[in-house]
Structure formats: C-alpha cells, structure tokens
Amino acid sequence: MSENQFLKDVEKIYQFLEEQKNNTNKLITYLENKEFDKLTIIDEFAKELDLTLDDNLRFALITRLVNLRDDSLVQVLKKLQKDEKQVIKLQEKAYLFVKDYWEERHLKLIEFIDNENLLTAFYKEIFKGVYSVGKAMSKWQSSWTALIINKTNKQLLEKFDGNETKVFEYLENEKLFDLGHNKELADRCYSALIQDKDKYKSKAYIDAFKKEVTEVVDALENFADRLIEHEDEIYNQKWDYILYIQALIKAFSEQDTNKLVEKWADVDRAWMKIKTPIQIGHPLEYYEDHFRKAVALEWDIRLTNPTFAKNENRVNKIKSAFEKIYNSIEPNKKYEDIYNFSLKSLDKVQLYIGRPALFFAAEFNGLFSAQVVPNDEIVSKEEGKKIFAFSDEILQISKAKPFLKLSREIFGQELLKKDREFLFNETQKWHQVYDISTIGHEYGHILWCDDETEAFMNKTGNFKNIEEFKATTGGLISFFCDESDDEKELEEHVLIDLVKRAVGLIGWMEVDEVQPYYCEGLIHLNALFSTKVLDFDEDKLQIDLSDDKKTELKEWYIQNYTNLAKHYLDKKDATLFLNQFATKEDKYFMPTDKKINSFVKYYFEKYKDIGQELDTEDKKSNYIK
C-alpha cells in the first residue's frame, strides 16, 4: 500500500467518525423536536439509574451520554434531594452505562476498518490493541475514582476541617508525594494513598490497584506481541510503537514510588518519537486529583485530519507577542533562561489537528477540545511537545448543542443571534477563532515555564487554578498584540467567544476536577467587568462591545498578562496571583469584587434553576442556510 492510499483510508475513517458523531448527536435533535419515542436509549439510561424521567433529567442524561459531561446530571440529582453518597453512587452507575455505550461504538469502528479492508495489517493491530487495553483501563477507572477522588481526598479534607493548605503541608511533611527528577518533589503522582491505621502510605498504581493494573499490563503485552508480527511499510515506525508500549509496561509495573516519574518520562520520550497520523494517548494529565495530582487514566487514539495543511501562523504570532511582553520586563539572567526554555519548547512543537477515534477510562468523563503534552518539562526540553486540536469535533458538537433558556436570559437574543449566524455559516472564520482561542491556549501553556515552575508555584495547590487563565490569555495576547491585520475582522467574534467562555465557566463551580477552568473564568470576569464590557445591575447583564471598551479590554489583558508573566518568572506561589481576583468562600473560590461576586451567585442560581431548560423561542433552522 502506498502512503497516498493509506491517507485516503485515514480520510474514510475520519468521515466514518463524523457520521458516527452525527448519529449520536441525533439524540439532541430528538430532544429538541420532542420525539421522545426515539429516545429509547435514554429511557434505558433512566431505568438503569432507577430515576423517573422528566424534561430536566432527559436533558442531563443526553448531555452525559453525548457530550460526556455530568455537571447537569449532578445538578438534577441535587434537585431530587439526593445526598452526596447517593450522587456518587449514581455518577458511577452513569459512568458504566456511558462506558458500555461508547465501547460498543468503538467496536463498530474497528469492524468498519476490517470490513472495508482499510489501513495496513500493522495499523489494524494498533486499533485492536488500543481497544483491548482501553477496555481494561475503563474497568480500572471505577476503582481509581472511588479510592482517590471519593475516598482519600474527602478523608484528607475532613481530617483538616476543609483547610486545603494544611492538607498540602501534611502530604509534604509525611513525604506522601512522588519524587521526580533529581529526587525533587514531583509536580504529579503515579501512585495512590492507602490508609494504614491513622496514617497513609503511598503505593504505586500496580500495588494500589493490583488486579486492574495487571489486566492493563497483560493487554499491553499482548498488544506488543501482535505488533511484532507485522511491518509498518508506510512510516517505518514499527519499533517506535513497540518500544513505546514496552515503556508503558515498565511504567505500569514499577513498584518504587520514587522511580515512577522517571519511568513515565521514558514513556513520554518514546511517545514523542511517534509522528504518524495515528497517535495513541496515554496517562498525561492530572486535573481530577486536586491534592497529589495523581495522573488520570487517559487512553485513546487521536486521528489526524489528512486534509489539514501545516500552518505556522499561530505559533509565529505567539512568539512575536511573547517577545514583546518579555522585552517590557526588566531583564536578568534567570528570566532569560526561562524565556529561552519556553522558546525552544515552542520550536519543537508537533501540531496534530484531528479527532478522537477511540477513547476510554477517564475520557468517558469528558474529552478535551485540545491538549498540549507531555507535562514533564524535562522531557519537553529534550523532545518538545505535541499539541492536539479537535476543531472538527468541537464545531460538530457546538452546532449540535441545544439552545438553552439560560443563554437567552443571560446574554440576550442580539448577541446570541450574531454568535449563531457565525457558528452555522462562517466555518472557515470559526476555525480561525478556534485557532486563536483554543490552539493559542495550548501554545500559551508553554510560555514562562521551565522544568521547576509548577513544583515551586504549587506549594498551596493553586498552580492549575491560574495556569488555565495564563494559557487562554497567551492565545488572546497573540491576537491583541498582533501588528498585522489579517485577523482584524475576527475581533468581535473572539470577544463574544471570550464573554461566553467567562460566564459559562461559572456553571462548573461545584465540579472539583474542572476547578482550574472555573477559576480561569473568574479572572476573565474581572477583565470584562473592570473595563465595563460587562455590567450587572438589577438582575440583568449588560454587554458593551463598543470600540472604546474593546481598547480598554486589550489594555487590561496586556497589563495583567505582563504581571502574570513576571509572577511566573519569579516562580511565586500561584495563590498570591489568584487571590487578587478570587478567594475561598466556604468550599469554592468566589470573586473578590462585590459586583462580580453577586453576578456569579446570580448566574449559578439561574444555572441550577433553569440550566437544563430548552429555549423554545429560537431554532437552529433560523440559521442553517
């Protein structure tokens, strides 16, 4: 098979995935059209949870199944007076239902590849191997969540009366973090805490979850054995894949908690060498576990869009803005080293634009719209990073999402009409805005950091809670500081996207694993309110995107991003920056500004009250031309 034919096969798979997603999205259309007789899968879902269906629950279950988000479901369960233990139990039942649904769809993809005789024997085995490992990972996810998120973390909070700073001090004093490179405290863990009388012991995943991890390792060994029987005549990367899988086996099998970070760094090194359109994703991120940053159970195949043309546009604009901000800060040798570290990382980025093809485990609790990895900066210094962006997927999801009453009440029809006409009819420009906001966000993560930044800045556990703001603003700054005018016409839509993101993220207030995004939203709200782009009076949000407000907003972002860059260069504790905009009120961060504080509370109450209600006054047919 020629590479050209191989890429045609990849395109067929890509189209199959798009059609498959369209079929899943039909559940939303049936909901909008009140064709409840076609929602038998949702009837089954409700029955599985032993809950009585109503409009709110139906919406929440469709959101859980189609978009893999459970924040709506949690709100509905709270309205039904379910206590915390009941909510956790029902979340797990929902996870299992979603897992079965999507694993069945993943199997259909593998059957399609077989039946149509697509790809080479080697790459057919990649899909089959990832699927079999994925099934084992998905089984493990249940016990991972039960132990780390719902048991240990809740016990630690209880032990210190909800004082997170004391939890971090305790974990550090008791040496309960994994050690990383050079035997320093790592910024993440590949282990779990096991209770031993009134104390805790840190145990590697293989010891904390022996049965589940053994199954994963067995599946990986079988995967490697099957790949050895075939050749990769297209990209000649057979041994890169095999060495990567063998590195995974070693990492999952490692029992010494102080060798885990190094073993997983070897996984990342091996993975960075694979540069084909079929990329495997492994445990890379650590948002869910607030305290020890235990790495989540990601496992997937990301398929690159074969029609995607490589484009240096965004990274060049990022570099230009990065240089401008850096030059406005008083230089010294330490700053220069960090600046050069970031620049080198930018130069080594591999960019993949595509779709998730197979996904398992933690990803049944939510897929990312984009990702920059690995997070291990020592590896990135050597090998660079990969950025994955799923723009086709996000556009498809955005078009399928139902119109909500909440959006109309908060944003008003004028802004929504403008936004929806853009979404449904300006595909190329929509992708350009995604490039600024989302791909820009991923490049933005790379800036102002070296291999020690996170460990230094996370002493009180809030690094991620400012890092997401830093990332998004990095993309925005590349737009705001741009001296060319090739993207000028996108300005209003970039700002509408920013307003919707900042406000929409309030809905994630009570979802612990996405707290960094919620905190990001609170900082953006400070930008929007302090420049009067947004104002809140008499239970109504006013939005002003006039030219003078846009200018003030740009100035706010450039000034505050410069302050943030200096904060990173000095490696100051992240909490110091966050507390300028938000502080803890009981369990959750809330804005320090009174007006923003009252708006956040107002929005969240509205979200709880009508967040699952459809907007019956506007229809997608008004926009689809």
Structural domain includes residue 291: no
Is residue 578 over pLDDT 90? yes
Share of the chain above pLDDT 90, in %: 91
Are residues 561 and 505 located together in one domain of the fold?
Answer: yes
Q: What is the pLDDT of residue 490?
A: 96
**Averaged over 148-154, what is the pLDDT?**
95
SS3 annotation, 158-204: HHCCCCHHHHHHHHHHCCCCCECHHHCECCCECEEEEEECCEEEEEE
Identify the pLDDT of residue 197.
Answer: 86
Q: Are 295 and 264 in contact (CB under 8 A)?
A: yes
Mean pLDDT of 396-411: 96
Q: Which of 100, 119, 138 is the last residue of a domain?
A: 119
Q: Are residues 41 and 146 in the same domain?
A: no
Q: How far apart are CA 536 and CA 499, in angstroms?
A: 13
Give me the mean pLDDT over the 330-343 stretch: 94
Q: Which long-range contacts link 429-435 to residues 24+ away (Cβ below 8 Å)?
A: 429/489, 429/490, 429/493, 430/395, 431/391, 431/395, 432/487, 432/490, 433/490, 433/493, 433/494, 433/497, 434/389, 434/391, 434/394, 434/395, 435/313, 435/314, 435/391
pLDDT tens profile 226-238:
999 999 999 999 9
Determine the pLDDT at residue 547.
95
Q: Per residue in 343-354, pLDDT tens?
A: 999 999 999 999
What tens digit of pLDDT does each residue of 274-298 get?
999 999 999 999 888 989 999 999 9
User: pLDDT digit string (tens) for 365-374?
Assistant: 998 889 999 9
Give yes or no: residues 47 and 188 share one domain.
no
Residue 219 shares a structural domain with residue 81: no
User: Is residue 309's pLDDT more than 80?
Assistant: no
Range of the structural domain that residue 193 is part of: 121-275
Q: Is the pLDDT of residue 538 over 90?
A: no
**Does residue 305 belong to any structural domain of this protein?**
no
CA atoms within 13 A on the CB side of 226: 18
Structural domain count, the chain: 3
Residue 549 lies in a domain: yes
Instruction: State the Cα–Cα distance between residues 248 and 300, nearest whole angstrom.
Output: 14
Q: Do 108 and 149 fall within a single domain?
A: no
Confidence of residue 512 (pLDDT cuts 50, 70, 90): confident
Q: What's the whole-number average pLDDT of the chain?
A: 95
User: Within this chain, do residues 426 and 538 fall inside the same structural domain, yes or no?
Assistant: yes
